[in-house]
Chains A and B, each alone.
Chain A
């Protein structure tokens, strides 16, 4: 869930900082690597990922308490 920025891929465009409704990147400075100030306010809406021009520069990590509970397939 907290967004993770890949320093090597990020072009410092600031789109994610502008777009995030929850302002997870609050306090980030223009033309600098976005700062994930409030990771626990991310609602994993995916907007930052969708609006990022550099593929893979921002991704979301799903926190463990939210992993899906599925029924395992019976083993043969």
Chain B
């Protein structure tokens, strides 16, 4: 495989919302910013199909007390989302949101509805509405264009899979071209990871299908896996996350639907709304995402999102926003099947979204390794989080890069040789399992041994078999071309993440949220304000409990 070298001051791994915002800021401040993107930045990542809610605080709308806004926000799904990140970081985030809103508007992303800032959805009736409705359908093409205008170099179809680091400091990364037989070596003074979430560690609603997911097949936790291998700290890898959406049709956008969640007898399942409310939606699943599963298991389902009784105007409003929220194919399907939402409630279910683990960072976006930053879904979900910390990290990575240099390199050469060897070995393997087979095996181990129920015995057993799977996969996985090679590396990364989920689950000897230890049913109050850290020391995982950042 041929080797291509690219130099940068700031390398952004992942051209999602976070990576592009970081690159735009870095370039604006004079850095040579390069974005390495696995797909094509124009429509890649979770934001690639559009979004319609922007978490933002505007004093003129919400009042001068930002903490009151934060308190309200933390009663919604943002509570789990920002868990363990510390109040300082939340304040830095929220305080910056209006600036980004105005900036995006000036770049051509419509942030107003009928001429005004408009907040709706994800809200309790009577409380603050914390999420602005915006027309995010074209956000990725607009951000990509802005990045190019500012002089950012975007390298599409390159999957970065390891960092170049001495365990203390990062000075580059290595990737594979997913179309041409090429390895790409980035020599960079600082690196910002923005590779998004983890989409297929656990099974999708359709067994054995990978693409029935609310996000993207190509979001596989690469950032977390490579950060860990480079010695960076990760936190709370054992915590599970779930999402809710239409049954069997995995999609985000629950809060864009207007209606009431009702049981088969038409009784509302939550206490918040009794008729469709355009400004609030039904926030019940944000209080408990598992509620659809609980109803199903108790024989009380199905549960429907029920829009009956809403006005045609409210329906038009909902149908206006769903395409911005990446739901055009769903609307097309409803039309084709004659599903009239004014008459037909639509069943919802709980989806397993995998590990809520994240890369440890501070308010500056720095990880525990010099020169390495992390943004967006590497830390917490949401467009607002990705854009704000993209911006902040871009700034700080640029400052760092000014004083940094790239050592010439024997280490880089050794790493290139090692990784080239691995890639060529996989390309040369014959008659083994393809990535899909390995991925199915991974999902069943994750789901049955580190899924909804966990015990010491299950976790020990699962970890033992996961290690066997890893060994077998390394020795035999096949890839007929560069695309399949990328998919194979993705699944190897997810196996690494899976191992960390097992190790951390074993160490968390309590039940908390969706981490249910049948052998430790108590929630241990001594762990209330602690984060669970894992990092690699001398090629071994080491865990530690640490107070949550202030």
Contacts and interface: CB of A to CB of B under 8 A. Distances in A.
B211 A41 contact: yes
A43 B211 contact: yes
A12 interface: no
Contacts of A44: 211, 329
Nearest to A70: B344
A7 interface: no
A47 to B, nearest CB: 4
Given A19-B42, A21-B43, A21-B48, A69 B218 contact: no
B179 A66 contact: no
| Tier of interface size on chain B | 35 or more
Contacts of A43: 211, 213, 215-217
Contacts of A38: 483
Given A67-B333, A69-B248, A71-B347, A47 B211 contact: no
B125 interface: no
B27 interface: no
A46 B483 contact: no
Given A19-B43, A20-B39, A68 B248 contact: yes
Contacts of A72: 344
- Give the bracket for the number of chain A residues in contact with chain B: 20 to 34
Interface in B189-218: 206, 209-213, 215-218
Contact of A68 (B206, B247, B306, B343): B247
A62 B249 CA distance: 10
Contacts of B49: 45-47
Interface string A50-62: 1100000000101
A45 B334 contact: no
Nearest to B326: A45
Contact of A23 (B39, B326, B337): B39
B304 interface: yes
Contacts, number: 117
Contact of A22 (B218, B306, B347): B218
Nearest to A15: B42
Contacts of B340: 73
Given A20-B39, A21-B44, A22-B217, A27 B246 contact: no
A76 B264 CA distance: 19
Contacts of A62: 249, 329, 332-333, 336
Contacts of B3: none
Given A19-B43, A21-B48, A41-B211, A69 B326 contact: no
A40 B206 CA distance: 12
Interface of B: 38-40, 42-45, 48-49, 157, 178-179, 206, 209-213, 215-218, 246-249, 302, 304, 306, 326, 328-330, 332-334, 336-337, 339-340, 343-347, 481, 483
Interface of A: 1, 18-23, 26-27, 38, 40-47, 49-51, 60, 62, 65-73
Report, nearest first, the 6 A-B pairs whose CB atoms are least far apart: A21-B39, A47-B43, A69-B347, A70-B344, A21-B44, A73-B343
23 contacts: A1-B211, A18-B40, A23-B157, A40-B209, A40-B210, A40-B211, A42-B211, A47-B49, A50-B43, A60-B329, A62-B336, A65-B248, A66-B206, A67-B333, A68-B249, A68-B330, A68-B334, A69-B246, A70-B339, A71-B304, A71-B306, A71-B346, A73-B344
Given A20-B40, A21-B216, A27-B481, 10 more contacts: A21-B39, A21-B48, A21-B218, A23-B483, A46-B328, A47-B42, A51-B43, A62-B332, A71-B344, A71-B346
